[in-house]
């Protein structure tokens, strides 16, 4: 609800602040006093286009400010908090202050807005306003003007049964969209995915056939080095063998083995038995045996070089080239090649499973389509029943507002395509008199009639689709007498559920208000302009204002008696 409204230098109002009642507030005043400036100020706070012509004569800037009290989970509060607004907390409620300033300059009209002390785009005020305030005026019926708002109003009126059916439908609709998108993606990309599978299959087979091991490339490189040096190794082995065991082609050449054997024989042939020499002889024998073993090992090594030969070198070089190629494609190291293959196997399985996946998704799509058809049909049926009830109730209210031939109805027609909210296009229609065609709200109705239509609709919807604050500007235009009394009664009924602010010239309406505000006009002839402010009327002052509205002046005794009677009968 609106706690207060402050206006500075707007129209004829120089400066005023009014506290508002949570129930029924009425604004009255003489013609030209500036009653509509209250609505103009609220429109500015709700994001309306700024007009420098609304700035009070002689001033360079106009400002308006309003304080809202809304539940913490209200959508308007969420929008303000996302914009960085600072809010005061009061139990489960939040206090939000919004301002709008307009000024004129050589370049045109300038406008600035704040919410919760933070500068915000004017568009944010519209977002806050559409969730917090509904304005019904002579020129613009802001609430329920869109088909979306009308659908939401009908669904809210339908209660839990529609809410449950709509939730089930939306869940199925979302699932169907997801399945359909996946299916279309698979179908449209089938050729690309088949090519990907073929290439991936070839790569994995290549890696598997290579049967590579970690660090195998380093081992092969070492082997290549050894094979490339085989001739040098053979020469070294031959020379070492010759030195150890002699040369078969030069029998006179000395060798390590023959020299050691000669030394052993000399020691063995020494006369007598000398323990020390015997020990040396034994050691020489051991040395001879060790030299023979070394010679045999060198010969064996040389023989192995002969066995491997050039073919082994070619084979090793080919293996290294293969490993390097795989590293270049999938590496940079062999371990990375192995890891890449393991990571890609699930993708290959997925690609090979496309056919099964497509078949499964087609079955799931059909299942969800059938379910959506069933749930959408049920939702339409519930809406039709709710629409019939809503039409009857609103029509009854219109008859009470002295529109006796008007018929209100809800048209539910098939949409071109199923949407996230069902199969239906929903429109609120009015048949002003028998024989005429039902027409959408706002078509063919005067501003006053449309305001009464919206009042009837809001009274019926008050328990199910409430907006915290309703504003009606000149809702009573062109009516009087009993119709005015009926309008006052219904506004009072609406105010039991939400805050209502009404700008009116009818005393029958004003008498029902919980709070009566008057716009006071004070012409300044010398200065050439009029100044107005707003004050609350209570007691005798309120009776005087109602008398003025009844008879044209406040001092008429009969008018004052009538005013007292209006107050007594309306409360």
**Using one digit for the tens of pLDDT, what is the confidence trace for 97-145?**
999 999 877 666 788 989 988 888 888 888 888 788 887 765 555 567 7
Alpha-carbon torsion, ordered 56, 57, 60, 65, to 10 deg: -10
Q: Give the pLDDT score at 132.
A: 84
Highest mean pLDDT among 41-50, 409-418, 544-553: 409-418
Sorted by where each starts, the structural domains of the chain and their CATH numbers stand as: 1-145+468-537 (3.40.50.300), 191-352 (no CATH)
pLDDT (average), residues 319-345: 87
| Bridge pairing between strands 93-105 and 88-90 | antiparallel
Q: Dihedral sign, CA of 452, 455, 460, 461?
A: positive
The pLDDT of 457-471, averaged and rounded, is 82
Contacts of 125 (CB under 8 A, 6+ apart): 45, 46, 47, 98, 100, 113, 115
Mean of pLDDT values over 168-196: 87
pLDDT of residue 188 exceeding 90, the answer is no
pLDDT category at 478 given cuts 50, 70, 90 is low
Q: Are 247 and 253 in contact (CB under 8 A)?
A: yes
Per cent of the chain over pLDDT 70 is 89
Reported as half-sphere exposure (CB side, CA atoms, 13 A), residue 172 has a value of 24
Number of neighbours of residue 308 by Cβ within 10 angstroms: 15
Kindly state the DSSP code that residue 48 receives in the 8-state scheme: P
The pLDDT value recorded for residue 529 is 55
Given a contact cutoff of 8 angstroms between Cβ atoms, the answer to whether 540 and 558 are in contact is no
pLDDT at 403 over 80: yes
What pLDDT is attached to residue 446? 61
pLDDT tens-digit profile of 268-279?
A: 787 767 788 878
Buried b (16+ CB within 10 A) or exposed e, 315-340: ebbebbebbeebbeebbeebeebbeb
Which band of pLDDT confidence, cut at 50, 70 and 90, is reported for residue 177?
A: very high
Q: Hey, how many other C-beta atoms are within 10 angstroms of the C-beta on 401?
A: 26
Strand segments (E) across 45-171: 61-71, 88-90, 93-105, 108-115, 118-120, 133-136
What confidence tens digit (pLDDT) does each residue in 497-551 have? Answer: 899 999 888 899 999 999 999 988 776 545 555 667 788 999 999 999 999 988 8
- Judged on CB neighbours under 10 Å (0-12, 13-18, 19+), 485 is buried
Question: Rounded distance, CA 80 to CA 128, Å?
Answer: 7
Token duo for residue 389: 């009830």
Task: Indicate if the pLDDT at residue 251 is higher than 60.
Answer: no
Nearest CA to 134 out of 227, 37, 1, 223 is that of 1
Tokens of 536: 């609350």
* pLDDT(42) > 60: yes
**Ramachandran assignment for 223, one of left (phi > 0), alpha (psi -120 to 50 degrees), beta (any other):** alpha
* Nearest residue to 5 via CA among 471, 512, 459: 471
Alpha-carbon gap, residue 5 to 65, rounded angstroms = 6
144 or 362, greater pLDDT: 362
Residue 468: what pLDDT? 86
Q: Could you give the strand order of the β-sheet that contains 439-440, starting from the edge strand earlier in sequence?
A: 407-419, 422-431, 439-440
For residues 72-100, give the mean pLDDT.
88
Maximum average pLDDT range among 353-362, 411-420, 553-562: 411-420
Q: What is the pLDDT of residues 7-20, one digit of tens each?
A: 988 888 888 888 99
**3-state secondary structure at position 353:** coil
User: Tens of pLDDT along 203-249?
Assistant: 888 888 888 888 888 888 877 777 766 666 666 767 777 777 776 65
CA 430 – CA 391 distance, rounded (Å): 9
Per-residue pLDDT averaged across 338-362, rounded? 82
Average pLDDT, the chain: 84
Average pLDDT rounded to a whole number, residues 49-64? 84
Residue 456 has a pLDDT of 87
pLDDT of res. 66:
92
- Asked if 164 and 385 touch (Cβ cutoff 8 Å), the reply is no
User: What is the Cα–Cα distance from 550 to 486, expressed in whole angstroms?
Assistant: 17
Full-model pTM? 0.65
Structural element, H or E, at residue 185? helix 160-188
Residue 425, token pair as written in the block: 């296009």
pLDDT at position 444 is 58
| pLDDT at residue number 524 | 59
Segment 282-295, tens digit of pLDDT:
888 888 888 888 88
pLDDT at 496 over 70: yes
Mean pLDDT of 71-94: 87
**Span of 185-189, 403-407, 521-525, 567-571 with lowest mean pLDDT:** 521-525
- Kind of pairing, strands 499-503 and 515-524? unpaired
Asked whether residue 447 carries a pLDDT value surpassing 80, the answer given is: no
CA–CA separation, 79 vs 47, rounded Å?
14
Positive or negative, the Cα torsion across 422, 424, 427, 430?
A: negative
Sign of CA dihedral 66, 67, 70, 72: positive
Q: How much of the chain exceeds pLDDT 90, in percent?
A: 26
């Amino acid at each position: 609800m609106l706690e207060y409204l402050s206006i500075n230098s707007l129209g004829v109002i120089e400066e005023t602040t009014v506290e508002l009642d949570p129930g029924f507030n009425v604004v009255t005043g003489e013609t030209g006093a500036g009653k509509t400036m209250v609505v103009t100020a609220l429109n500015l706070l709700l994001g309306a286009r700024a007009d420098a012509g609304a700035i009070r004569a002689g001033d360079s800037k106009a400002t308006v400010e309003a304080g809202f009290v809304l539940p913490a989970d209200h959508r308007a509060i969420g929008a303000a908090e996302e914009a960085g607004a600072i809010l005061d907390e009061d139990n489960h409620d939040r206090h939000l202050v919004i301002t709008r300033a307009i000024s004129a300059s050589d370049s045109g009209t300038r406008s600035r807005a704040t919410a919760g002390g933070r500068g915000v785009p004017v568009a944010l005020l519209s977002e806050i306003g559409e969730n917090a305030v509904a304005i019904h005026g002579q020129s613009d019926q802001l609430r329920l003007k869109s088909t979306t708002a009308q659908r939401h109003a009908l669904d809210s009126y339908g209660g839990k049964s529609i809410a449950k059916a709509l939730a089930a439908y939306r869940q199925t609709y979302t699932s169907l969209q997801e399945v359909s998108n996946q299916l279309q993606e698979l179908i449209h990309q089938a050729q690309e995915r088949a090519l990907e599978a073929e290439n991936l299959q070839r790569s994995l087979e290549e890696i598997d056939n290579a049967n590579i091991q970690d660090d195998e490339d380093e081992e092969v490189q070492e082997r290549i080095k050894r094979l490339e040096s085989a001739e040098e190794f053979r020469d070294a082995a031959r020379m070492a063998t010759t030195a150890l065991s002699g040369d078969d082609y030069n029998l006179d050449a000395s060798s390590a083995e023959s020299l050691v054997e000669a030394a052993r024989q000399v020691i063995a042939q020494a006369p007598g038995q000398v323990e020390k020499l015997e020990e040396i002889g034994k050691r020489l024998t051991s040395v001879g045996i060790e030299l023979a073993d070394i010679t045999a090992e060198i010969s064996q090594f040389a023989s192995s070089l002969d066995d491997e030969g050039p073919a082994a070198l070619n084979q090793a070089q080919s293996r290294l080239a293969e490993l390097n190629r795989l590293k270049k494609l999938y590496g940079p190291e062999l371990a990375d090649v192995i890891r890449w293959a393991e990571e890609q196997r699930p993708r290959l399985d997925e690609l090979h499973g496309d056919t099964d996946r497509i078949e499964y998704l087609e079955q799931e799509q059909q299942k969800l389509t059938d379910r959506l058809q069933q749930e959408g049909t049920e939702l339409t049926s519930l809406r039709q029943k709710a629409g019939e009830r809503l039409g009857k109730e609103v029509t009854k209210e219109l008859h009470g507002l002295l529109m006796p031939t008007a018929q209100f109805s809800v048209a539910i027609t098939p949409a071109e395509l199923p949407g996230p909210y069902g199969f239906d296009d929903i429109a609120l229609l009015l048949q002003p008199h028998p024989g005429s065609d039902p027409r959408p709200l706002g078509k063919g109705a005067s501003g006053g009639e449309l305001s009464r239509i919206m009042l009837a609709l809001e009274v019926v919807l008050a328990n199910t689709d409430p907006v915290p604050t309703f504003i009606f500007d000149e809702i009573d235009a062109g009516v009087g007498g009993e119709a005015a009394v009926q309008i006052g009664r219904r506004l009072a009924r609406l105010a039991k559920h939400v805050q209502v602010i009404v700008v009116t010239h009818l005393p029958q309406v004003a008498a029902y208000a919980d709070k009566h505000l008057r716009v006071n006009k004070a012409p300044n002839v010398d200065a050439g302009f009029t100044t107005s402010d707003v004050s609350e009327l209570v007691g005798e002052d309120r009776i005087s204002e109602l008398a003025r509205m009844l008879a044209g002046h406040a001092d008429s005794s009969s008018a004052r008696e009538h005013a007292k009677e209006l107050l007594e009968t309306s409360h």
